[in-house]
Structure 1
Amino acid sequence: MPAKSCDCGPTLAELLLDWPPEKFPELDSATTSLSLRSRDLREQFNAGTPFLSLPREIILEISIMACEPVYEASDPDNFVRSKQLTSPLLLAKICQLWRCLVLHYPRLWNVIFLNLRREPEVYRAQLELLKSWLLRSGELLLSIHLEEMERDPAGWVKNPPVEVFDLLARYSHRWLHVSTFLVRPCWEGLEKLPLPSLTTLAVRPPTVVSSPAELRKAIWRISYAPCLRNAYLVVFDKVAMDIPMHQLTQITMKSCMRQDCLSLLASTPNVVHCALLSIYSRFIYNLHPAVIALPYLSSLTMASLGDISMITRLLDCITTPALSRMRVICGESRGAEPFASIGTFLSRSSCSLRELSFKVTNYRETTEQALIAMLTNMETLEKLELHCKWGGKFEPVFYHLNPARPQHTPQYLPPSRVVLPNLRCFRYKGPMSFEIHHLIKMIDMRYRMSIDREKDLQWDPVGRQGIHNCIARPESFDIEILEMKRDHYYTILCDYADTLERLMEEHDGIVFSFCDEMGDNIPLQNLIPVMDPDGLAEFFT
């Protein structure tokens, strides 16, 4: 502490001036002794605080794990949707030792998550912080996640953060993953930048833009990026954009015209993972002139804000022989045609689909028969997810999934035909638009018949030899019933308490929960201890 910073400063200064030179060795000795004493006291304190006494190597490993991007379990390769739990700046505040280690270790500074603000003082501080951050990263490859934090994001169009982009451009030779918003004139210099290591590029406009047409006028190109494999494109015009599409193995297109998406897909023969989100069209019948072959595509996600017809029109234009995972998300499903179109697409592709997920807000009209017909031809399917907010009649689906379905139930297929023989994981999230005993019976019979097959028992519950030899052993059933009144819980659980309790005890993979009208989720596991009429009555009152 400087002498002038405390009240006794003048006195200390006078004492030092009057100190005889021959006393300086004595002063040095006293200073050394005090330093040693201070170190001893610090070590004693650290001994009582374990994390302060960790070896340097352990501290650095902890810091690296804390600062690495965290990915969503459902999308483990998507850097765009990743997040950082903490930053090296916070770790540097723990103590002097951690600060010394963190500030001088480049591996903690090569990941940048920055939420830009337009306020002049904040923006200047962020720019200086970014300069220091980049210097501390050494020569490591950079992962950059740039977001905008504004009430009016369109303000970035009028006042673009040119200084930030110019600073990042100086390090373009070290870009590895980049997720950023682009506004004029920031996109104009992309073609001139050296991008030898760029692997992931996500480009989007600010969150809300008053005039999207302004962004579509942007002409931006990347002529040379030999390592580019993953592209995430939001609101773009295919005519104004040029990147090496033939290199891509993963592509996501969002809020784009259908014809532009098809044109880009036609130039991505090596794509393995594809997501088409919020795709729209200005015309109803602007079909692609020829079917696009995507021989390596194994994962396909398609989402539409409206009905499912936009998705089916896209499927009419592609063929995917290697497809194993498919997700469909849409606002509503009308009639049987969408499921028939999806079935035609899968049949045309001759693929062995293993995972299928439907998330439809509203099922309209009669769709269950077409859904069952589509599932019947998916003998390789191992995982099925059905999400519905309202509408739909899933009762026929459940009793057709029962490998020993009773003869008296409505049959869309021959009774001997087993639907989804290889099904291992099933998830349903939606309303109680069915009699629950059909669902419980289906779960019970799939477990019982698969277990009998594995034990090689000759047991035939319904007099049809050989059916039980076709059922794979289930791994999980995850059932979540939405917007259910509590008095309805009581009735259901009282009627099926014994069966539900037995299933939960015998099989770890069953998860059953109810979501009431207030949005509270009640897992069935919480109700097992009170699975008797008196206990349930007390629980629900």
Structure 2
Amino acid sequence: MASQSSLLATDTRLRSGTRADRKAREVARIDDEVFHLQHKVHTLLTQAADLNFERNALVSAVDLPFEVLASIFEFACWPDVDRRFMTSIDNSFWRPLSERSRSRIPGGIRVGPLYISRVCLAWRKVALKSPKLWNSIELAVDWSRRGAQRQADLLDYWLSKSSPLPISVRLTEDWEFYEKDHDIEMPTKVIDVLQKYARRLHIAELLIPERWRHALAYIGNHATSLTSLALLFAFRCDSLEYINCFSDALPLLRNVALSRNNLMSVPLPANQIKSLHLEKVYNPLHAFHLYPNLEHCFIDAEFSGIQSDGEPVEGPILRHSLTSLSLHLNNESELAEILNILVLPNLSSFTVSLISGASPLLTMVDFFIQSSCALKKLHLHCRTISEDDLVACLQALPTLRELTLYCEEIPRAVFELMNPRRPTESDHEMSVHWRNNIPCLVPNLEVFSCSGPVSFDSGVVIEFLEERWQIGLQSAHLSWTGSMLDAQEKEILDRLSREGAGAYALKCDYDK
């Protein structure tokens, strides 16, 4: 009996082993077929890629001359550096620190020509031999020793490709590096590389750490082609308190921007400066005394205030050359402190932005009357404005062509008074201004904008736009938090847009 059981067990094991062997052989066969199929697929894909390459080489759209391809790259990959540095709402050459480029690779360098050079061999040749792709660079400086060496090598390589063109360099701080909580060593490797190219510097935005003093002095003595200069406070290291690196030997320098410096501690060739941008700078009022030939001036003192540690500035200061003035302040008293000392007979563009305080319009009216200027552009950003003050202000500006209002509410009567069509007896109740026979305000208006959390009577506004379009209004931008336009108002706005008025509206629901 035991013998039979043993034989049965042995037979079962043999059959089981035979099935396992068959499965193993079958799996091996299938794996082998899969491998061969994958090899065939890879071969076919390679052949298809080769054929596509041959086909694409025959397409006229990619078979472009070197010069044409280079021009396309220059247009599509890079914004014009002069436009990027020179264009802003205040006509200043320098944009605030918050407006930084998002196009970066690790280390902060803009990436256009590097990406192009990796597409194909033909594009690589064009990219490496097109100096205009390499004559502008923005670098967020890494203060660690290893990171600075890598950036210095890349900066040297980049600028070497730009010869012989003028170069534009922007050095900012790498805030991502600070978040890693590394020790700050403040190496000079990056600024040392820039010294090699000082004579070709056209536009420069530079940090001013104490350890860079000698390199900055060298650049200041040799950057004979420099036209625009911005000096930025270095937050994470000791910055220079007195900056005398750029006071001489800069015959072409016209545009200057300072951030968190003391204006009195940055001597510059004052008589040749045309554009000045001051962001949270000590003694900003002295700019009107120090720079007699200014044409554009931007002062940002929001939250910091008009800080002064020197002698008070006395007026009146007459400046015939100043045509554009932009003031970003805390309140009306700071605005009055500036405007009360100025007489600007040729002012054509004026921007005022106040965080809080009373309406600044009466102060502005006195300034306009004192200056007797033919203002063409007015950008007003404040919380509240009174109806009477705004009417008085616009009455003082008959030459105005562009008007931007950024406030919580714009009085209905203002739109009525800017509307050339006089209301009939069947219209809504006339305001006191109509009874006083006030002529149409800003008769030469071409561009009108209401931006921000504004509210107004949409019907009155649409009627104002429709009437103005017939006598010269070219574009209008509206944004508000109130109710949407009704169907008829939307139809009118769409029609104006189709006719080329450039009119459009945006509803902003800030509470959602």
TM-score (norm 1): 0.72
Q: 1:112-511 maps to which residues of 2 (within 5 A)?
A: 112-151=137-176, 158-192=184-218, 193-206=221-234, 208-209=235-236, 215=239, 217-222=241-246, 223-257=248-282, 260-278=283-301, 280-282=305-307, 287-304=312-329, 306-335=330-359, 338-360=360-382, 362-363=383-384, 367-388=386-407, 390=408, 392-406=409-423, 408-412=429-433, 414-431=436-453, 433-447=455-469, 450=471, 473-482=472-481, 484=482, 488-489=483-484, 492-493=485-486, 496=489, 508-511=501-504
**Structure 1: runs of 5 or more not aligned:** 1-39, 451-472, 520-541
The structural deviation recorded for 1:431 is 4.2
Report the secondary structure of 1:128's partner residue. helix
Flag the 1:446–1:121 CA change in 2: closer, same or farther, 3 A: same
Deviation of 1:517 after TM superposition, in Å, equals 4.5
Cα distance per residue 1:150-209 (max 9 Å; x no partner): 347699995223111112112211111101221112134434431211111011113x45
* SS of residue paired to 1:63: helix
Aligned mates of 1:153, 1:188 — CA distance in 2:
25
Task: Establish whether residue 64 from structure 1 lines up as the match of residue 74 from structure 2.
Answer: yes
- SS of 2:230's partner is strand
Residue 532 of structure 1: aligned partner: none
Identify the match of residue 78 of structure 1 among 88, 93, 98: 93
Cα offset, 1:416, TM superposition: 4.3
SS class of match (1:251): strand
CA shift, 1:443, in A, is 2.5
Rounded Cα–Cα distance in structure 1 between residues aligned with 2:374 and 2:229: 31
State the match for 2:39 in structure 1: none
2:193 is aligned with what amino acid? L
- Does structure 1 retain, via aligned residues, the 8 Å contact 2:473–2:501? no
| CA-CA distance at 1:477 after TM superposition | 2.5
Q: Please identify the structure whose Cα radius of gyration is greater.
A: 2
Amino acid at match of 1:350: S
Q: Which has the higher contact order (CA 8 A, sep 6+)?
A: 2
Q: Residue 144 of structure 2 contacts residue 182 of structure 2 at CA under 8 Å; is this kept in 1?
A: no
Offset of residue 284 of structure 1: 12
1:282 positional shift:
4.7
**How far does residue 276 in structure 1 lie from its aligned partner after superposition?**
0.8
Say whether the 8 Å CA contact 1:215–1:236 is kept in structure 2.
Answer: no
SS in 1 for 2:175: coil
Q: Partners in 2 of 1:43 and 1:282 — Cα distance?
A: 65
Q: Deviations over 1:89-115 (max 9, x none)?
A: 111112112212322333332222222
The structure with the greater share of residues assigned to strand is 1
CA deviation string 1:67-103 (max 9, x = no partner):
3545466457635568577421111112112212322
Deviation at 1:289, TM superposition (A): 1.6
Q: 1:216–1:240: 8 Å Cα contact kept in structure 2?
A: no
Provide Cα deviations, 1:335-384, integer angstroms capped at 9, x if missing partner.
4xx21111111111111101111122x22xx6221111011111100111
2:34 alignment partner in structure 1:
none
Are 1:104 and 1:136, in contact at CA under 8 Å, matched by a contact in 2?
yes
TM-aligned CA deviation for residue 145 of structure 1? 1.3
Displacement, 1:45? 3.7
Give, in angstroms, the shift of residue 393 of structure 1. 4.4
CA contact (8 A) 2:263 2:281 kept: no
Residue of structure 2 equivalent to 1:7: none
| C-alpha distance 50-303 of structure 1, shift in aligned 2 (>3 A) | farther
In the alignment, the residues of structure 2 paired with residue 284 and residue 172 of structure 1 have an alpha-carbon distance, to the nearest angstrom, of 34
What per-residue deviation string (whole Å, max 9, x for no partner) do you get for residues 118-157 of structure 1?
4544332222112222322223221111122134769999
Alpha-carbon contact 2:208-2:240 (below 8 Å) kept: no
Aligned length: 437
> Residue 386 of structure 1 contacts residue 428 of structure 1 at CA under 8 Å; is this kept in 2?
yes
Report how far residue 419 of structure 1 moved. Answer: 1.2
Determine the C-alpha separation between the residues in 2 that align with 1:156 and 1:263. Answer: 39
* Corresponding position of 1:8: none
Give the 3-state SS of the residue equivalent to 1:262 in structure 2. Answer: helix
Q: Aligned pair in 2 of structure 1 residues 219, 158: CA closer, same or farther (>3 Å)?
A: farther
Q: Offset at 1:297?
A: 1.3
Of 72, 77, 92 in structure 1, the residue corresponding to residue 117 of structure 2 is: 92
**Aligned 8 A contact 1:190 1:220 in 2:** no
Q: Is contact 2:298-2:325 (8 Å) kept?
A: yes
Amino acid in the other structure paired with 1:378? L
Can you give the 5+ residue segments of structure 2 that lack an aligned partner in the other structure?
1-49, 104-109
1:33 corresponds in structure 2 to none
Q: Tell me, yes or no, if the aligned pair for 1:88 and 1:109 is still in contact at 8 Å.
A: yes
- Cα pair 2:381 2:406 within 8 Å, conserved: yes
State the distance in 1 between where 2:53 and 2:176 align.
49
TM (norm. structure 2) is 0.76
- Does structure 2 retain, via aligned residues, the 8 Å contact 1:327–1:357? yes
Amino acid at match of 2:340: D
- Amino acid of the structure 2 residue aligned with 1:167: V
Counterpart amino acid of residue 159 in structure 1: E
2:509 equivalent to 1:516? yes
Q: What letter corresponds to residue 255 of structure 2 in structure 1?
A: N
User: Any conservation in 2 of the 1:187–1:220 contact (CA below 8 Å)?
Assistant: no
SS at structure 1 position matched to 2:132: helix
Closer, same or farther: CA 283–175 of 1 in aligned 2, 3 Å: closer
Aligned to 1:53: 63
Deviation at 1:386, TM superposition (A): 0.4
Q: C-alpha displacement at 1:231, in angstroms?
A: 0.3
C-alpha contact 1:299 1:324 (8 A) present in aligned 2: yes
SS in 2 for 1:444: helix
What amino acid is aligned across from residue 254 of structure 1 in structure 2? E
1:308 to partner: Cα distance: 3.2
User: Does the residue aligned with 1:348 lie in a helix, a strand or coil?
Assistant: helix
The 8 Å contact of residues 217 and 240 in structure 1, kept in 2 or not, is answered as yes
CA RMSD of aligned residues (A): 3.2
Supply the distance in 2 between the matched residues of 1:161 and 1:51 (Cα, whole angstroms). Answer: 47
In 2 relative to 1, CA 412–50 (structure 1 residues): closer, same or farther, beyond 3 Å?
same
Q: 1:107 and 1:433 mapped to 2: Cα distance?
A: 47
